[in-house]
């Protein structure tokens, strides 16, 4: 990784990264969310900065501080995240969707706290927009990198997301393994792009982030030429 830090292959590039979970309000005091810690997205932001990039993070609620020199836009819901991303993306050369965006949100957002009454209650959910797909569908799109969290058939589902969402690259992690991936210090990634793939074995998220950005920088440059 030494050569990377001295070569700074992302010098002059602007990178937009989504990170963390989203919170989908049920009422003024409750929400639906997930266990994403934001550590992978923040590690990518910090590594991208070290490799010379200008970095903006659009972040859901996390207990992390913004890496030095990075800009951070804090959001809550998937709809907020989409709005922030859409207003920033025109400036970006590379977009990395690392957030664990909630797939669904409560259909109705009520103004008052829901009172406890019946023994059973039902929540109706509706699908959130897919931010990553929307970025990939833009006319002047940046180089688009997605993440995929899978518990089975990793390559099959990752390659399916790569082509269905029209991504340039996807980094897949196996969340069925204990102690790696979601909400942990360690991670391992299988990275796929239309004409190739590479495996980044289990290590801490900071080294992994540098290695992933090295792969991204290489494919990004190849696409420019």
- Of 56-64, 94-102, 192-200, 213-221, which segment contacts ligand CTP by CB under 6 A? 94-102
Binding flag, residue 20, ligand CTP (CB under 6 A): no
Q: How far apart are CA 215 and CA 206, in angstroms?
A: 15
- Of 6-14, 30-38, 111-119, 146-154, which segment contacts ligand CTP by CB under 6 A? 146-154
Report CA 100 to chain centroid distance, whole Å: 6
Q: Which does 132 bind (CB under 5 to 8 A by kind): ligand CTP, Ca ion, none?
A: ligand CTP
| Helix runs in 62-196, H state only | 78-88, 131-136, 154-164
Q: How far apart are CA 94 and CA 13, in angstroms?
A: 8
User: What's phi and psi for 87, nearest 5 deg?
Assistant: -85, -15
Residue from 78, 169, 180, 213 binding ligand CTP (CB under 6 A) = 78
174 labelled ligand-binding:
no
147 labelled ligand-binding:
yes
CB of 98 to ligand CTP, least distance (A): 6
Residue from 31, 42, 95, 147 binding ligand CTP (CB under 6 A) = 147
Does residue 173 have an active-site annotation?
Answer: no
The residue whose Cβ lies closest to Ca ion is 103
Q: How far apart are CA 145 and CA 35, in angstroms?
A: 21
Question: What residues does 17 pair with on adjacent strands?
Answer: 57, 96
The residues that are catalytic are 34
């Amino acid at each position: 990784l030494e050569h990377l830090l001295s070569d700074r292959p992302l010098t002059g590039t602007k990178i937009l990264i989504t990170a963390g979970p989203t919170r989908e309000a049920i009422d003024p005091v409750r929400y639906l969310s997930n266990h994403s810690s934001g550590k992978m997205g923040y590690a990518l932001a910090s590594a991208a900065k070290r490799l010379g990039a200008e970095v903006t993070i659009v972040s859901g609620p996390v207990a992390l501080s913004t890496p030095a020199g990075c800009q951070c836009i804090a959001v809550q819901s998937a709809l907020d995240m989409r709005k922030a991303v859409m207003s920033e993306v025109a400036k970006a050369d590379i977009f990395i969707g690392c957030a664990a965006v909630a797939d669904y949100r409560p259909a109705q957002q009520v103004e008052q706290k829901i009172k406890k009454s019946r023994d059973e209650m039902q929540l109706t959910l509706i699908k959130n927009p897919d931010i990553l797909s929307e970025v990939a569908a833009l006319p002047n799109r940046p180089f688009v990198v997605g993440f995929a969290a899978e518990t089975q058939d990793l390559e099959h589902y990752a390659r399916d997301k790569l082509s269905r969402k029209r991504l340039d690259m996807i980094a897949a992690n196996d969340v069925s393994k204990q102690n790696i991936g979601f909400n942990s210090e360690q991670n391992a990634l299988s990275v796929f792009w239309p004409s190739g793939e590479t495996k980044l074995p289990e290590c801490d998220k900071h080294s992994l982030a540098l290695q992933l950005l090295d792969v991204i920088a290489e494919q990004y440059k190849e696409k420019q030429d």
